[in-house]
Amino acid sequence: MFTPILFENASVLDPDAGRLSPGRSVLVEDGRITSVTEGAPATLPADTRRIDVAGKTLMPGLCDAHVHVVASTANFKKLLSWSPSYVTAKAGEVMAAMLYRGFTTVRDAGGADFGLAQAVEEDLLDGPRLLFGGRALSQTGGHGDFRGPGENILDECLCCAGMGRICDGIAEVQKAARDELRRGAHHVKIMASGGVASPTDRIDSTQFSLDELKAIVDECEAANRYACAHAYTARAVNRALECGVRSIEHGNLIDAESCEIFKAKGAYLVPTLSTYRALVDEGVEAGMPPELVEKTYQVLDAGIEALGLAHSKNVQIVFGSDLLGDMHRHQLNEFNIRSQVQSPAEIIRSATVTAAALFQMADEIGRVAKGYRADLLVVDGDPLSDITLMTRPDTALKIVMKDGKIYRDDLAE
């Protein structure tokens, strides 16, 4: 598919062990890593391009498990009025910027569809590999219902540019889940509690009945897919975990019991800490109504505390950002925030191998190893010693490769 490439003199980062192995050569052919050797490999394809990394770090591409690539504005009412073609064009900008920051796989948590994923796969748009869930499932008056208290027309919440779909009762949630899966969803997102961006619910509410939650999870499992759930409070998180969701998004108000359920169920926590700081600082400017930005303060400081609790209890933690509009540029700030609790190796692990396991792609992405997809970054420096390197892509990130194709090459300059 592409010219074979040999990365020479590389310090290969092993996210499992949290260490660098210097003096390695990594051969990439047809989008896959075909060998990782100490020193030069014995033989090479005749047309191989050789890239001398000169001791720099060669590491797996990053994963972000909670993005909204169609949310190029924080004003969801405005988004709902946009033409689908315009939404796609704006999403292309968002995804390209993510790729150039070093993210080679992202999981969309509401809004993206098969068309965007196919456009990226066919290289019509530059962007990370896009694992999409279609529209998130919300009860009436839930976190996916963007109508104000005086608005009664439902169509606007179901338009093709929307990020959520409303369904109530077992029959409706089954049909909605089946429909998103029919459209090719890699996972199904459930709004299991109140949230910041929804105008008529409360952060501490639970959403969907237990029977509805179980019905959605059952549909996902029947299709060999999984459900993830937006939830903040321990009450909402615990009931979603007990119903079988694979990952909890946010989880700012979890407790010790939540952590035990996470471990018992083998579930994952996806904190999204960068979005709260960004919303407080820039949310109104980005288009979010002031009264919704005000809701952010209920979960702002609790997020880092929840991360610390989950980390201390050995919960599986995955990298996520959940940014909107112009605030997408703060995606890498998640490294800075998490460094208050986690070591550089632990944060990198959350954005590589642990994310890959959540995505059910543990044998495909997240490692620099033979047979894995050639999603590779060249970083000038050692991010295991200085995690801030990951937040400075303009100077520290030299090469971005996805599926064996180089999308950014600052070494060639």
- Tell me the CATH number at 222: 3.20.20.140
Domain shared by 328 and 282, yes or no: yes
Domain shared by 224 and 348, yes or no: yes
- Of 84, 219, 55, residue with least CA distance to 163: 84
- Of 84, 154, 145, residue with least CA distance to 116: 84
Structural element, H or E, at residue 262: helix 256-265
What distance lies between CA 149 and its chain's CA centroid? 31
User: Are the C-beta atoms of 315 and 263 separated by less than 8 Å?
Assistant: yes
Cα distance between residue 38 and residue 20, in whole Å: 12
pLDDT: which is higher, 99 or 151: 99
Burial degree of 393 (CB within 10 A; 0-12, 13-18, 19+): buried
- Of 165, 167, 94, residue with least CA distance to 134: 165
Domain shared by 383 and 311, yes or no: no
Cα distance between residue 308 and residue 317, in whole Å: 11
For residue 153, the model assigns a pLDDT of 65
Domain shared by 169 and 201, yes or no: yes
For residue 1, the model assigns a pLDDT of 63
Structural element, H or E, at residue 378: strand 376-379
For residue 159, the model assigns a pLDDT of 40
Domain shared by 97 and 142, yes or no: yes
Q: Whole-model pTM?
A: 0.94
Domain shared by 274 and 386, yes or no: no
- Tell me the CATH number at 38: 2.30.40.10
Residue 227, CA atoms < 13 Å, CB-side half-sphere: 30
For residue 158, the model assigns a pLDDT of 42
What are φ and ψ of residue 63, in 5° steps? -120, 140
Cα distance between residue 228 and residue 189, in whole Å: 5
pLDDT category at 278 given cuts 50, 70, 90 is: confident
pLDDT digits (tens, 9 = 90+) for 213-263: 999 999 999 999 999 999 999 999 999 999 999 999 999 999 999 999 999
Domain shared by 56 and 68, yes or no: no
Domain shared by 48 and 159, yes or no: no
In the structure encoding, which two tokens stand for residue 57, read together? 């770090």
In the structure encoding, which two tokens stand for residue 237, read together? 């998180």
Domain shared by 54 and 101, yes or no: no
Domain shared by 341 and 273, yes or no: yes
Domain shared by 298 and 401, yes or no: no
Mean of the per-residue pLDDT values for the chain?
92
pLDDT digits (tens, 9 = 90+) for 60-105: 999 999 999 998 887 777 787 888 899 999 999 999 999 999 999 9
Cα distance between residue 48 and residue 56, in whole Å: 20
Tell the residue number behind the tokens 């407080």, with chain if given.
280
Domain shared by 101 and 80, yes or no: yes
Domain count, the chain: 2
Cα distance between residue 257 and residue 237, in whole Å: 10
CA distances from 308 to 320, 323, 342 (A): 16, 21, 8
Domain interval for residue 71: 62-358
Residues 6+ apart with CB under 8 A from 133: 107, 108, 109, 110, 112, 180, 185, 186, 187, 188, 189, 228
